[in-house]
Structures are given as C-alpha cells and as structure tokens.
Amino acid sequence: MQLEHTFTVAAPVEQAWALLLDIERIAPCMPGATLTSFSGDNFEGNVRVKLGPVNMTYAGKGRFLEKDEAAHRMVMEASGRDARGGGTAKATVTGTLKAADDGAGTVVTVVTDLAVTGRPAQFGRGMIADVGGRLIGQFADCLASKLSELPAPEPTPAEPAPAQEPETGEPASVVEPAAVVAEPAAAVSLAPVKVTPAAEPIDLLHVTGVSGAVKRAVPYVVGFVLGGLVTWLLLTLLT
C-alpha cells in the first residue's frame, strides 16, 4: 500500500534539507524508534509499538538508496521483523523537498510504499493509513516548530546556529565513515506520544537521539515507524 503525506514548513528548502539530515535534532520529533547503530548508509534499530492491548517490537535495518542533494530527494528502504515472529514489514520511503509556491516555505512530501508479508498481508490498510497520517502529522508539527526556531538565512544570524549550514545545505555527500553506535546515554526521551489531543498515549516508544557523527538517519527512522504501523494492520486480523 502507498501512503502519501505532504506538509509545509516555514523555512527555505536549504534549511529544511539541512535540518532533515541532522539526526540529533530531528530524532526527538519521531514518535518512537530507537537507533541501535548507524554506519555509512546503513543503520539498525527497533520500534516498539503499543496501542491498547497490542504491544510489539519490530527490529530491523535500513539503508539509503538515493540521496540527491540537488533535487532534495532521498529514498530509503527499511525492513523490520517482529521480535516474536508476528510478521515482517518493508517500507520504501521517498522524501522530497520543494520550495512552496509563495517562496516562503518548503513543501515536504513523504511517500511510503509499505509491503507487508505474513499474516497481515491479506488485510487492507484501515487503521494504518489513519494512524500513519497522524504520526506524520505529529512529526511535521515538531519539524515545523524546530524550523521556526532557525535564524533567517540571509541576515547574519543573531546567534550562529550550531552545526548548521543554512545557506548551502551543505551536509556533504560524504557520510561519516565511522560506525557509530548510539549510546543510550545520549538518549533524548520523548514524553508519551499523544496521537490526538484527547488520546491516551499510543506510547510509540522513546526516541533515542544518537551521538554527533550520526547524521541522516531520520528517513530510516521514518521508515521504521511506518513499518511498525503494520502492527495496527494486524489488529484488523481480529475483526
């Protein structure tokens, strides 16, 4: 099934691109995933999903298929397996940034192609699309608020944004070479996630930030979270 989400953030494309690749700043925005390692274009992690009585942990890995800085388009693939053998999921996530028509912001499009194997495969999307949409919406809100904190690109920033290259969006295509293992010590704890204002915590995990050299894992995280959504699909098994 294909899920498409589009949102607009109030920042120029180059800034948005740079931020999107800054895992340390973005990770806390993602509802629930833990990176366990990141090396080059590959990464591993897991997603713990809790919704009502359902509680599952997907573990898996992912990698970049494409990182086109000129077109501001990234494609990644992630696959996960439920720790108890409940099923597998594979997601191909394409993220594209584009200047908004009014020139003031950036339109972010995330297209997720979710392939589900095992028992869930025979069921439709149902809740997954709905909950997936809400999670992306939550991610977008968080991203937008982070971007609104950025200094404007042209005037000299009042306070230089640390580790940001707002004008060039430079995050070099050279990926940090060293394998970096996320230290739980660097964990950024996310308060229990509320999917809707009135909702009980869906409790989508704790997002763990990773140490400085780790960049660009965000799309992986996105993919894993969406992959974890398969869990909800499983719920329809019972209906």
- Residues lying near another protein in the complex (CB under 8 A) are found at 50-56, 84-86, 119, 122-127, 129-131, 195-196, 198-200, 202-203, 231-232, 234-239
- Whichever of 15 and 46 has its CB closer to another protein, that residue is 46
- Whichever of 53 and 103 has its CB closer to another protein, that residue is 53
- Whichever of 163 and 199 has its CB closer to another protein, that residue is 199
d(CA 82, CA 87): 6
75 Cβ contact list (under 8 Å, min separation 6): 64, 65, 66, 67, 92, 93, 94, 95
199, 223 in Cβ contact below 8 A?
no
Residue type, 41: D
The least distance separating another protein from the CB of residue 147, rounded to whole angstroms, comes to 28
The least distance separating another protein from the CB of residue 7, rounded to whole angstroms, comes to 19
The least distance separating another protein from the CB of residue 1, rounded to whole angstroms, comes to 10
- Whichever of 54 and 163 has its CB closer to another protein, that residue is 54
Buried (b) or exposed (e) across 109-137, using 16+ Cβ within 10 A?
Answer: ebebebebeeebeebebebbbebbebbbe
Residue 207 has φ and ψ, to the nearest 5°, of -85, 130
Residue 168 has φ and ψ, to the nearest 5°, of -95, -15
97, 16 in Cβ contact below 8 A?
yes
The least distance separating another protein from the CB of residue 100, rounded to whole angstroms, comes to 27
- Whichever of 52 and 162 has its CB closer to another protein, that residue is 52
Q: What angle do CA 110, 111, 117 make, to 5 degrees?
A: 130
- Whichever of 11 and 202 has its CB closer to another protein, that residue is 202
10 Å Cβ neighbour count for 198?
Answer: 6
- Whichever of 201 and 212 has its CB closer to another protein, that residue is 201
Token output for 149: 């904190």
d(CA 10, CA 138): 16
The least distance separating another protein from the CB of residue 235, rounded to whole angstroms, comes to 7
The least distance separating another protein from the CB of residue 62, rounded to whole angstroms, comes to 24
The least distance separating another protein from the CB of residue 119, rounded to whole angstroms, comes to 8
